[in-house]
Amino acid sequence: MPTNLGPGPTSFEDFRFFNDERVDEIIKRVTVLEKAKVETKGKLKATKAELKETKEKLKSVEAENVVLKNELTVMNEKVLDIEARTNVSNEMFDEILSTNCDLNDANTMISHANEILQEEIEDLKVKDENKTKQIEMLYVVIEDRLGINVHAAYDDIGIRRLDEEEVPRAAKVKGKSIAEEEFLGSSSQQE
């Protein structure tokens, strides 16, 4: 080794490159970049945490979405059921309206027929009153001309007819009793 070189540099700073300014600038840049790298790592960690949180929220929202879709399906089925019931109710309402119209028509016809019957009843009452007056007049004429009481004569005829009916009935009863006696007598003789 050579001995004439003298004491050499004792630290790295003793070495000077021919473009020290440039090196200083690069060192400053590297320092800034290292700081930016540290900040970026921090931001990256925060972003990863936010991403994880966002993924968890997304999973929660997706689960909630599934529940909402199921509820929507159930609600749609209920709406369809309500629509079907509404259609049935509308059909029944239409039938009731049709029946009501028919009943109104029938009621109108019955009311008209009732009015006609009332008129006929009034006419018959008038005719009946006229007939009653005519019969009364006839009784008066008969009683005056014949000199008899029509009611008393009618009662006498009724009594005569009853008497005439009593005789054959009594004979029948008597005939049965004779026949019964003969039957009973013949059966007792056979014994």
Q: What is the pLDDT along the chain (191 residues), one digit of tens a residue?
A: 455 555 555 555 555 555 678 778 888 989 999 989 999 998 899 899 999 999 999 999 999 999 999 999 999 999 999 999 999 999 999 999 999 999 999 999 999 999 999 999 999 999 999 999 999 998 889 888 888 888 888 899 999 888 888 766 666 666 555 555 555 555 555 54
Q: Structure pTM? A: 0.38
pLDDT of residue 173: 62
Longest dimension (CA), the chain: 201
pLDDT of residue 176: 57
Predicted local distance difference test score (pLDDT) of residue 83? 95
pLDDT in the model for residue 3: 56
